[in-house]
Structure 1
Amino acid sequence: MKAVVTRVKSASVIIEGNVNGAIEQGFLVLLGVGPEDTPETCARLAEKVANVRVFSDEAGKMNLSISQVGGAFLVVSQFTLYADLKKRRPGFSHAAKPDLANVLYEQFMQELRDKGFAVEHGEFGADMQVESVNDGPVTLLFDTEEL
């Protein structure tokens, strides 16, 4: 799995002109699923993202986790994280098929909910517009092949 995680002051996802999910302080997570990913992979990624310490403490140092600042998650499925960019037109054969990807996308969000987080989301496979006010900016790339 791959996740682009951005620390945000606010973020929202709009589908067909309607706000589908919105958060204030927290993480915007663009989540991609690969064909070899498993429920265990998903749980490991959720644990890493939930515990990374990139929010500022009282001294201005990145030392606090999202739970310590009362933040929320906005999770958006993003199969394009698995794009093959060798040619001018990206190929997406390295992304998981929708049946697996959707199950693990839902599991990732449930893993975060089970940890006590508020989780908003997009809609798997939908055409979405994502808006965010990046904080920092702080953007991290998680790849379970490297964790």
Structure 2
Amino acid sequence: MQPTGGDLGAFLLGVTPERRRTDAQELIELMREVSGREPVLWGTIIGFGACHYVYPTGTEGDMPVLAFSPRKTATTIYLDDTGAYPDELARLGPHTTGRGCLYLKKLDAVDLGVLRDILTRCLARTEAGGAEGVRITVTG
């Protein structure tokens, strides 16, 4: 995955439904604060910073340090491993998860302080070199 250099403002104007667009604007501010980085489009993903990862299998690639995507059915927040945040997720509010994805239908229904804690810990884990077995080098 690579940054695409797309126009973030134009992308946001096309986000539907309206709730996703509003949530996206709020998440941009939150992730900007947490990461200290500016948002960049990686296709339909809004990313902050960049890193290179290498799995034990040898698979490697590039990805944002923190990222989310405003999808029609839910906003997807990309995390290193949702299993690393059981206590926070229990307090977050309505959500669903995949291994590395946190899905939110309504940002105003979750505890933003808890979400900030999750993002801060995810950033720290990434900047420290990644989860067990995965090597991550922050490049931007």
Q: Which category describes the TM-score, using the shorter chain as reference length?
A: under 0.3
Structure with more strand by fraction: 1
Bigger CA radius of gyration: 1
Q: Which has the higher contact order (CA 8 A, sep 6+)?
A: 1
Structure with more helix by fraction: 2
Instruction: Normalising by structure 1, report the TM-score.
Output: 0.27
